Amino acid sequence: MNPWAPFEWITALRFLREGRMQTLFIIAGVSIGVGVIVFMSAMLTGLQANFIKRVLTSQPHIQLIPPDEVARPLRNGSGIIPAAIVQRPAQRLRSIDQWQKVRQQLLQWSEIITVSPTVTASALAVRGDASRSISLSGIDPEVYFNIVRVPDYIVAGQPRVTSEDIIIGLDLAKDLGVTVADKLNVSSATGSTRVLTVSGIFDFGNKGANMRSTFVALRTAQALSRLVGGVTSIDLTVSDVYAAETVARAVQASTGVQADSWIKTNAQFFTAVNAQQSSNTMIRLFVGLSVAFGIASVLVVSVIQRSKDIGILRAMGTSQGQILRVFLLQGGLLGLAGSIIGSGLGAGALVMWHTYMRQADGTELFPLILETRLFASAILLAAVTGVAAAAVPAIRAARLDPVVAIRG
Amino acid sequence: MADRQNVLRLEGVTKAYNVGTPVEVEVLHGIDLSLMRGEFVALMGPSGSGKSTLLNIIGLLDRPTSGRLFIEGHETSMLDDAALTRLRGHSIGFVFQYHYLISAFTALENVMMPMLVERSFPDAAMKERAESLLAQVGLTQWQNNLATNMSGGQQQRVAIARSLAMNPALILADEPTGNLDTKSADTVLEMMRRINVENGTTFLIVTHSNDLARRCDRTVEVVDGRMTATSG
């Protein structure tokens, strides 16, 4: 007997060791359950992180835009509205009012990482007889590239944006027959035209984006869209992507400029992520419950099998509390042992899945994220579940009448 | 009243089941019994006479419906379950017909068990006492055997050693030789007698065997829940 272990530990361990077949089977059951939970949780964390990374590396977390122009009904002095039908005005390209002040204000916020003023306008890219409509983004590359990582997607040339440069997509370059260092005529809807040099060609992996998105210097876009000194949006990134909506509301309240978070503009995507999270939680809950019932059923049988032992122990002066603790401990130990093995199984399965399941181009399907927190919480939760599952059999054992127990 | 020499005293103890219902049945009707320190007493009676019920009440495993029970001078009717458990652990040792060792432990550990229950952590003194008790019952070389790997007679000797672990004043033995062959039964009885003489431990032995009863100091008999005779 280990001199450091008290009566309850010694007895619980001996009971588990003696019923080793039962113990092994239930530990295997708990291990599989915990393995499934660990595997699913880690895989979904990885997949979600990947989805969110993909979504959020091609758009800002929050975008500040000027408020919509609205036409108000005309009223005369007596409160009568002479023209009841009011047509919605067309939204012309406008700058955010006093955007420099707003920018300075936003730079003070601890939750906001990047503040990038941008001009977005539609234009026409012309080369010879060919022309394509494009979306022109006038950017400050030093800050904007922290939001949309254009340099990561460059397949030819450099991610350079001086006042004479333009970065275009692969499909647009093919359509117009241009390559790096070729010239393009860019005409805006306002009638301004500039000749720009293709400095880089990107491939976002999306034909639409590759056809339409182009990047020029902020000043170039301002000049082309006749918004000298103005910006049409301020793009932000925040430290906690899931808090983007809350931050957006605070920014809107504080600056008076309309702020749209990625959660709002990608509502469907966000709903899908949430649905995935809820289904994952449900699966984990039910697997956890089946683990708990497994432990409980084994211990219920064990109490019946050991009723004579319990009776003898009670006859020799063992208290109800001691008997209770012996069985609670068995539940906790089964949960703990199963969860440690299960965590290993889950991690192993995850590494295998990550190694062998690849995308068509050989890149990883999802990033491998093995958080210590996940394993620690799985182990702790399984041990607590084991103790909780053991409660009913343990109470039953403690309440056994020693006379009845000894007689069997 | 506390009496140093009086190990057990029962005064008008009754036991009824299904009290207050139409099927109420009284199995013990006013039992008076007194055992002195160092006595070796046989408790006899036909099956169904109430012997086991009486033994359970004396062993503090069951409570009497009325009457008073004193263990080493302590009146037990006012004690709660926890106090009864403590008193049982200290003052009473049990030996059952079917030996009932805990199969998950070795012979030595079974003997250590009452001390472990009391003190929580095992220590060298516990082991030493268990070894000396096993030596008393002649099982030193078997001490590391699991209970399941021993003969019936050996298991019963381990059970006797275990019942002595807390050095109790009273040992209750429920047909301790009932399940043993004649030779083993003889050895076990001799051993109990020797312990009784050497340690002054009081024994109350439930038995159907007249031979065993003859070898006791006296015999008390229960018939139909009443103490009918005391002889010896």
Is B214 near chain A, with CB under 8 Å?
no
Contact A316 B100 (CB under 8 A): no
Neighbours of A343 (CB within 10 A): 23
Residue-range domain boundaries for chain A: 7-55+270-407, 99-256
ipTM of the complex: 0.85
**Structure pTM?**
0.74
pLDDT for the residue numbered A364: 76
The CATH classification number of B6-231 equals 3.40.50.300
Six-digit token string for A74: 């005309």
Q: Looking at the DSSP assignment, which residues form a beta bridge with residue A166? A: A198, A216
Regions of chain B short of the pLDDT cut 70: 1-4, 99, 229-232
Q: Between B59, B103, B121, which is nearest A315 by CB?
A: B59
B59: which chain A residues are within 8 Å (Cβ-Cβ)?
A: 315
- Gap between the Cα atoms of A36 and A29, Å rounded: 11
Q: Between A18, A315, A320, which is nearest B103 by CB?
A: A18
Q: Give the CA count within 13 Å in the CB-facing half-sphere of A217.
A: 16
A63 DSSP 8-state letter = E
In a mutational test of the A interface, the residue from B71, B81, B85 whose CB has the highest number of chain A CBs within 10 Å is B85
pLDDT for the residue numbered B219: 92
B94: which chain A residues are within 8 Å (Cβ-Cβ)?
A: 312, 315-316
Strand, helix or coil at B222? strand
Strand, helix or coil at B49? coil
pLDDT for the residue numbered A117: 93
pLDDT digit string (tens) for chain A, length 408 residues: 777 789 999 999 999 999 889 899 999 999 999 999 888 888 888 888 877 777 777 788 999 998 888 887 777 777 777 776 778 888 888 888 889 999 999 999 898 999 999 999 999 999 988 899 999 999 999 999 988 888 988 999 999 999 899 999 999 999 999 999 999 999 988 888 999 999 999 998 888 889 999 999 999 999 998 888 899 999 999 988 888 999 999 999 988 889 999 888 888 888 888 888 888 889 888 888 888 888 888 888 888 888 888 988 988 889 999 999 999 999 999 999 999 999 999 999 988 888 888 777 777 777 777 888 888 888 898 889 899 999 999 999 998 888 888 776
Q: Which residue has the tokens 């359950």?
A: A33
B103: which chain A residues are within 8 Å (Cβ-Cβ)?
A: 18, 309
Contact yes or no for A306/A15 (Cβ under 8 A): yes
- Gap between the Cα atoms of A32 and A87, Å rounded: 64
Neighbours of A399 (CB within 10 A): 10
pLDDT for the residue numbered B1: 43
- Gap between the Cα atoms of A97 and A103, Å rounded: 11
Q: List strand residue ranges (DSSP E) for chain B, in order.
A: 6-17, 25-36, 40-44, 66-71, 74-75, 92-95, 170-174, 202-206, 218-223, 226-231
pLDDT for the residue numbered B2: 45
Contact yes or no for A125/A171 (Cβ under 8 A): no
Contact A317 B120 (CB under 8 A): no
Is B113 near chain A, with CB under 8 Å?
yes
- Gap between the Cα atoms of B33 and B23, Å rounded: 28
Residues of chain A by 3-state class (helix, strand, coil), percent to 5: 55, 20, 25
Task: Please give the single-letter amino acid code of residue A38.
Answer: V
Contact B122 A2 (CB under 8 A): yes
What Rg, from alpha-carbon coordinates, does chain B have?
18
Contact yes or no for A382/A389 (Cβ under 8 A): no
DSSP string, A78-136: TS--S----PPPP----PPTTHHHHHHHHHT-SSEEEEEEEEEEEEEEEETTEEEEEEE
Q: Which chain A residue shows the shortest CA-CA distance from B57?
A: A403
Six-digit token string for B46: 């036909």
Contact B86 A317 (CB under 8 A): yes
pLDDT for the residue numbered A25: 92
Is B58 near chain A, with CB under 8 Å?
no
DSSP string, A139-206: E-HHHHHHHS-HHHHEEEE-----TTEEEEEHHHHHHHT--TT-EEEEEETTS-EEEEEEEEEE--S-
CA distance A1 to chain B (A): 7
Residue-range domain boundaries for chain B: 6-231
pLDDT for the residue numbered B231: 65
Is B90 near chain A, with CB under 8 Å?
yes
